[in-house]
Amino acid sequence: MPAAPKAKRKRNYLNNRDLFAEVLLSKEHGKMTDKLARMLQMLCARYGKRGQFANYTYNDDMQAYAMFMLVKTWNAFNPEKSQNPFAFFTQCVKRSFIQFLNQERKQRDIRDGLLVNSGMNPSNTFIAAYEDKQKEEREIRKAAEEAEEDAGGVDVIGLINAAFDVAVNDSEEK
């Protein structure tokens, strides 16, 4: 019986050994090589296709921000600590994407606040968060009223309102 031909080994889009060699070469020259830049660009593009980031309208902006951060911090990889630059750079890209999304959320919240103040409709995310907050407050007030009835007239609602005021002031200061 003839031996079955070996299946070709799947070639990854980025090889850790080649990436490590290119990082060492770049560190030796003191600047990023073109090949390393292309490798990191491929990493950003591939990471941007992940399910959790693929459908954002500003995916290209996230990839550009991640590439900017990689160019800024590529030299922080220490080959003496690890021979796995792929993991290091992937974490950098992941954190850059998350950082970009947090910045976008802050901008969205500012925009939604301005829309509400001008009498216009904010985003659906803002409306859903507002409704969830209102529902939670109603549940807490209902529990406080029940606790007040059980406590025999202690002003539990006044205590809850004071706690809400402190919580709101703390969140506004941040």
Same domain, 110 and 25: yes
Give me the mean pLDDT over the 138-148 stretch.
81
Whether 158 and 127 map to the same domain: the answer is yes
The pLDDT of residue 169: 67
Nearest-5° angle of CA 128, CA 133, CA 137? Answer: 150
Judge whether 6 lies within some domain: no
Q: How far apart are CA 174 and CA 26, in angstroms?
A: 41
Whether residue 158 has pLDDT greater than 90: no
Q: Phi-psi category of 170—alpha, beta or left, where left has phi over 0 and alpha has psi -120 to 50?
A: alpha
Does 106 lie in the same domain as 22? yes
Domain count, the chain: 2
Cα–Cα distance for residue pair 83/2, rounded to 1 Å = 41
83 is a domain residue: yes
φ/ψ region of 5 (left if φ > 0, alpha if ψ in -120 to 50, else beta) reads beta
Average pLDDT, the chain: 85
Tokens of 135: 């529902």
Structure tokens at 128: 């859903």
For residue 2, pLDDT over 60 is answered with yes
Co-location of 76 and 143 in the same domain: no
Residue 165 token pair: 């005021």
One domain, residues 144 and 89: no
**Residue 103 counted as domain residue:** yes
Check residue 168 and give its pLDDT. 64
Asked whether the whole model's pTM tops 0.85, one would answer no
Residue 160 has pLDDT above 80, yes or no: no
121 falls in which pLDDT band (50, 70, 90)? confident
Is 70 exceeded by the pLDDT of residue 9? no
Residue-wise pLDDT for 12-53, tens only, equals 678 888 999 999 999 999 999 999 999 999 999 999 999 888
